[in-house]
Amino acid sequence: MYSDLKKSIQTVYQKTGVDVFLFSPEGKFLFSAAGERPFFELRAFTGVVQDERGGVTFFKVMYRGAEYTCAIKGTGTVEKNYACFLSDAIENAAGKALNLPRSEFVRRILLGECSADDVQTYAIKYSVPDLSCFALAISSDVKVNDLTSFLTQYAGEEADTAVAVTGKDCAFIKFTGADFEYQSSADFATFLARSLLEEVGVKAHIGVGGTVRHFDEIAASYRQANTALRMSGIFNSRGEVHTYREYVLVKMLEDLPEAKLAEYLSVLLEGDAKELLKDEDMVNTAEAFLENNLNVSETSRILYMHRNTLMYRLDKIEKVMGLNLRNFSDAVTFRVITVLNKLT
């Protein structure tokens, strides 16, 4: 695989406009950033060689222990200087991930900034086990370095890793071997949130990504975890732990063009319904009712609200919006409306 090499050549082309023809160690043409085919013959050489008849300058690039051949159009002093410069630039760019500190390497993997080759390199270098794993996105009010230090205490497998991702958020990669003692990734996240609060006084909010079969898919799990964490903030969701599965519907709608979302919302809202959605108390009551499985008694208890007050608000929603939230189908419609309203 030569994906890093290809990416480096594309970067060079974007920044300088110089197209580089890349050939494998065996002399097979692989790639040109401009999409051109070679118009010259490849021949054996060492160092930097200029073929005036062919109108090209050749140079070598070392990549993962193999020597690749490159060529640029033109001959002369300028092209020779370009060849020397590009050789170093491409090698440095292609190999930069190999010399990163472990935490930065993991951070880039989670953010999708590393190629498949880089992920494989990390897995080999740090003896990552061939086990299922998942990622957590974690946010708290403490310094991110302190949070990662706290999280490291809960690493069961040697490969479990806590890493700072942004200024205030971090990620935790958890492997699920045969001795994984939790019922699910959400169960582990709940344990983690409770432990952080009880043992070190840190209140954390955690997004849980899906479990993936191999480490090379961990970036997808982190994207899901980060989405769950972000959505829980947008929708003021109760609790400290939220899974991506809770927000799949929201993510599906978020991926649609905003004009289409507005169109759907206009179809679902009639009369004074828009005004009702501006009433935070009314909307929060309805969402709590949905979160508690349409259970009037449980919702009243959690909201410290008299049953009659709750019933009055539900009746008002039905009168204004034509939706009886005690009916499952209408409850789903209301949920879609509130999602669309926040997304637009």
Average pLDDT over residues 151-158: 82
Structure tokens of 337?
A: 């409306």
Spatial CA neighbour of 325 closest among 275, 282, 270, 280: 282
**pLDDT classification of 215: cutoffs 50, 70, 90:** very high
Fold entry, domain 102-251? Alpha-Beta Plaits (3.30.70)
**pLDDT classification of 2: cutoffs 50, 70, 90:** low
pLDDT in tens, 228-282: 999 888 887 888 999 999 888 888 888 888 888 888 888 888 777 888 888 888 8
Q: At what angle do helices 116-125 and 102-110 cross, to 10 degrees?
A: 140
**pLDDT classification of 93: cutoffs 50, 70, 90:** low
Q: How far apart are the C-alpha atoms of 32 and 329, rounded to whole Å?
A: 55
Fold entry, domain 3-98? Beta-Lactamase (3.30.450)
Q: How far apart are the C-alpha atoms of 61 and 88, rounded to whole Å?
A: 8
Per-domain residue ranges of the chain: 3-98, 102-251, 256-343
Structure tokens of 172?
A: 């935790």
Spatial CA neighbour of 192 closest among 182, 16, 221: 182
Beta bridge partners of 38: none
pLDDT in tens, 311-324: 999 999 988 888 89
Q: What is the DSSP string of 240-299?
A: SEEEGGGGHHHHHHHTS-HHHHHHHHHHH--TTHHHHHT-HHHHHHHHHHHHTTT-HHHH
pLDDT in tens, 175-197: 997 778 888 999 999 999 999 99
pLDDT in tens, 9-53: 887 788 888 889 999 888 889 989 888 888 888 877 777 888 888
Fold entry, domain 256-343? Arc Repressor Mutant, subunit A (1.10.10)
Spatial CA neighbour of 127 closest among 145, 101, 102: 102
Question: Quick check: 169 pLDDT over 70?
Answer: yes
- This prediction has a pTM of 0.66
Question: Quick check: 95 pLDDT over 60?
Answer: no
Q: What is the pLDDT of residue 271?
A: 73
Mean pLDDT highest for which of 63-67, 89-93, 105-109, 222-226? 222-226
Q: What is the pLDDT of residue 224?
A: 95
The pairing of strands 204-208 and 241-243 is: parallel
